[in-house]
Structure 1
Amino acid sequence: MTTEAPGRPARLARAVLVPRATYQAAVLRIGLAAVIAAFLLREWPHRRVLYGDRSPLSYDLALTLIQEEGTFSVLGWWGGRLWFEIVYTVTVLAALAVMAGWRTRATAVLLMVGLVSLENRNPLVGDGGDNILRIMVIYLVLIRCAQVWSLDARRARRARRSAGDGAGSRDPVGVALWAVLGALLFWAFGFPPPVGWPLALWLLWAVQGLWYVVHRASGARELRSVLDGCAAMAHNAGMVVIGAQVCLIYATAGWYKIQGTRWQEGSALYYALHLDYFALWPWLSAALAGNALLVLALTYLTVAVQVAFPFTLANRRLKNALLAVMIAEHAGIAVLLGIPFLSLVMIVCDLVFLPTSFLTRLGAWCARLTRRGRSAPVAPSGRSGPSVSAGSGEAGRPPAATAEPTPVG
């Protein structure tokens, strides 16, 4: 009894003060940013009609709606086309930067502000996928999603190798980005900022500046530990909330379906396949709707999977099997009903529940592919020669070109 007591606080501290599920957070970061970038690029020809100066919801009506609902949109500052094009383009670039993990703390905030501003400019054209994106992109700011598989992680490893365990290295790019964002905040909201989104953005900006100053100071080791612990706690809490949010989405959808007559009798999918709005390939929808037994099984399976998913998290094997079924179901919805982005968002949310062992093996496999691509010799004529296997070289070691380990990010 006496030997186990001192270990319990240490185990509790490791559980709370160490970032958990960092690979799952990286998957969420990459997936969400990729979906947002793909959506905005796809709607690029129609951007002005959806959210800009050609929208059926005029600028004055949008301002009235924003004020009545108490939402936030930087597009409400000015109704001109130039400002809209700047916001739209910066949001696309921020999505690409977050996907690559470049300056993730700053670019994640830019992505959140840009996406929320576009969605709130014309909420009448959104669907369930837009709602999930708005929620998850806010959570993305609170978690440490660039610990692995990011350019930030590679830069941090290089800084640790060069500086050791002492103070952090200088970061002129980060300081310049922080100063520019501070000037934009002061121009937009002034100081002191009003309560709401302006105050939250100012707090994020101030915390980032404090983080840099403390990690640059050589005698602030204890304060650095406190800040790291607070960031880890915020990250762990954010990942728990993200998992709970996904479970709530599935449970709510499943229990609402149970109350519907069409879902109870097993014919809901049949009627959905006959809606012209969702008939991406009419011949495929007609072929599936013609099989009554398959329609009945898929309808009941959809309800059962959504209702049962939150209760399967305690069993790893059952949870993993159900994840595969749900991912296949969302892929089928994207193909049959023509709702690709809603399906992609839900698939990204499902990937948060993947086991860490699978994600680490996936990362190692991608790293091996990267090493093989880099170590492939180039023929004098410009054509790539045969790839070098991992066991080639002297005494079974890799050649000198691949001796340095490839960064995970």
Structure 2
Amino acid sequence: MRRFASTFARGVDRVTGSALGPYQSAIIRIGFAATWLFFLLRELPHRHELYGPDGPWNWDMARQLIADNGAFTVLMWSDSVLWFEIVYGIALLSSALLMLGWRTRTMSVLFMIGVLSLQNRSVFMGDGGDNVIHLMAMYLVLTRCGQVWSLDARRERRRAAAHARGVRVSEDVVGPVLWWTLGVVLSAVTFSGKGTWGWLLVFWSLWVVQALWWAANRSRGGSGNANRRLLDVVANIAHNAGLLIIMAEACLIYATAGWYKVQGSRWQDGTAVYYPLHLDYFSPWPALSDLMTQYGTFIMIVTYGTVIVQVAFPFTLFNRRVKNVLLAIMIVEHSVIAVTLGLPFFSLAMIAADAVFLPTSFLRRVGRRAERARVRVTKAFAGRVPKAVRLPGQRAGEPSSDAPGPREAEPSVGGAAKG
């Protein structure tokens, strides 16, 4: 009994004392934000037909459906083209900033608003990948997904290093300005009667939580430290619960997909993969599809293997080695689907969901290699930029006696730019 109580106490301390899976939460933040950003950029020329005023699912039809199902979308606040462009632009910007990890708490909320607004505006335009992004956008709001691999983490490291050196750090200005701006917008929406009370309560709660964080960080003394610890515990619990929900959602997706496949006659006789490869809609590379379907044994292995992997994956989480093998197989499978069936964004969304199960050691190695690559690229670029050389006795800002004049410098600068 004592051993159980001790284990339980350590588990509670771990869940409340730290935000687990910092690298996993960072990779799913980057993955889903990048997937949605690339999708919006690809559909930029067709945005009016997909979600805007020129679509077959017009604004009046969407309003009638939303009045019945109560879905959230800010695009129902106005049917003007300007309002649609503003919402689409905010969705693009929030996706890019969330991917970079700039003000992740605020950007995760704006990212969720952009995803829900566009997808709920035209519910018949999505596929399985859109449904995954739809769910994960709401779960990401709960997580502290900017602990690593983000501009927020870099800013905190610089502030900590400055404090360690005894350098005075200026107060954050961008955060309060952003918070006040969003508060004004939320107040305008509330008093205009545009939003529903359920969603307004959610947004106001998130806004108040940000205010509490700001007040706790500014306060000094024992009460301020106690408030920060309390808020930190609440944030850790919310993060760990959100990460657990994301993992459960990914397992549920694979389990339900696998068990539904088991019931299909085409999956039972091993021919299910053959048919989509011969549909014009899912055949961007007909020659490749024909090559793959020439071998019946290969099609049968892929069909049965897909079902086995999807059904078995939730049960392999208890064995790390088996889980990692199946995880690699599923990532390769989604990559093949992206190429052979022409579903890149569905595959990216599923790979991003799978990334929550990647080992921390692997993610750290990837991060170190990415950092080394960034440093090499930065040094290579900096080596091509000419630097000014100061001669002995020359004052700062004083031109050198042998420095070329403006007209002489133009060809060299142009050549460097072209090179």
TM over 0.5: yes
Q: 1:218 aligns with which of 217, 220, 226?
A: 220
What is the aligned partner in structure 1 of residue 404 from structure 2? none
Give a deviation string over 1:271-330, Cα, whole Å, max 9, x none: 121112111111111111111010000000000000000010111111111111001110
What is the aligned partner in structure 1 of residue 201 from structure 2? 199
What is the aligned partner in structure 1 of residue 145 from structure 2? 145
Kept after mapping to 1: 8 A contact 2:267/2:303: yes
Q: How far has the Cα of 1:107 moved from its partner?
A: 1.1
Give the secondary-structure state (helix, strand or coil) at the position aligned to 1:266: coil
What is the aligned partner in structure 2 of residue 355 from structure 1? 359
C-alpha distance in 1, partners of 2:98/2:228? 25
AA in 2 matched with 1:170: E
What is the aligned partner in structure 1 of residue 411 from structure 2? none
Would the alpha carbon gap of residues 127 and 378 (structure 1) be closer, same or farther in structure 2, given more than 3 Å must change?
closer
C-alpha distance in 1, partners of 2:28/2:16? 21
Would the alpha carbon gap of residues 375 and 202 (structure 1) be closer, same or farther in structure 2, given more than 3 Å must change?
same
C-alpha distance in 2, partners of 1:302/1:5? 42
The 5-angstrom pairing of residues 5-404 of structure 1 reads 9-10=9-10, 12-163=12-163, 170-190=171-191, 194-219=196-221, 220-376=224-380
Query: Percent of pairs identical after alignment?
Result: 50
Kept after mapping to 2: 8 A contact 1:169/1:216: no
Would the alpha carbon gap of residues 169 and 314 (structure 1) be closer, same or farther in structure 2, given more than 3 Å must change?
farther
Superposed CA RMSD in Å reads: 2.5
Q: How far has the Cα of 1:168 moved from its partner?
A: 9.1
AA in 1 matched with 2:172: D
AA in 1 matched with 2:111: L
Kept after mapping to 2: 8 A contact 1:94/1:111: yes
C-alpha distance in 2, partners of 1:254/1:55? 34
Q: How far has the Cα of 1:4 moved from its partner?
A: 10
Kept after mapping to 1: 8 A contact 2:15/2:236: no
Would the alpha carbon gap of residues 378 and 355 (structure 1) be closer, same or farther in structure 2, given more than 3 Å must change?
closer
Q: How far has the Cα of 1:14 moved from its partner?
A: 2.3
C-alpha distance in 2, partners of 1:189/1:381? 52
Would the alpha carbon gap of residues 4 and 277 (structure 1) be closer, same or farther in structure 2, given more than 3 Å must change?
closer
C-alpha distance in 1, partners of 2:94/2:2? 53
AA in 2 matched with 1:16: T
Kept after mapping to 2: 8 A contact 1:17/1:230: no
Q: How far has the Cα of 1:17 moved from its partner?
A: 2.4
Kept after mapping to 1: 8 A contact 2:335/2:347: yes
- TM-score in terms of structure 1 length: 0.88
C-alpha distance in 2, partners of 1:129/1:89? 21
Give the secondary-structure state (helix, strand or coil) at the position aligned to 1:202: helix
C-alpha distance in 1, partners of 2:127/2:365? 35
C-alpha distance in 1, partners of 2:348/2:7? 43
Give a deviation string over 1:142-169, Cα, whole Å, max 9, x none: 1000000000011112222334699996
Q: Give the number of the structure whose alpha-carbon radius of gyration is greater.
A: 2
Q: How far has the Cα of 1:172 moved from its partner?
A: 0.9
Kept after mapping to 2: 8 A contact 1:75/1:84: yes
Task: Give unmatched runs, 5+ long, in structure 1.
Answer: 384-409
C-alpha distance in 2, partners of 1:233/1:358? 25
What is the aligned partner in structure 1 of residue 406 from structure 2? none
Kept after mapping to 1: 8 A contact 2:313/2:326: yes
Give a deviation string over 1:104-145, Cα, whole Å, max 9, x none: 111111110011000011101111111110000111111000
Task: Give unmatched runs, 5+ long, in structure 2.
Answer: 388-419
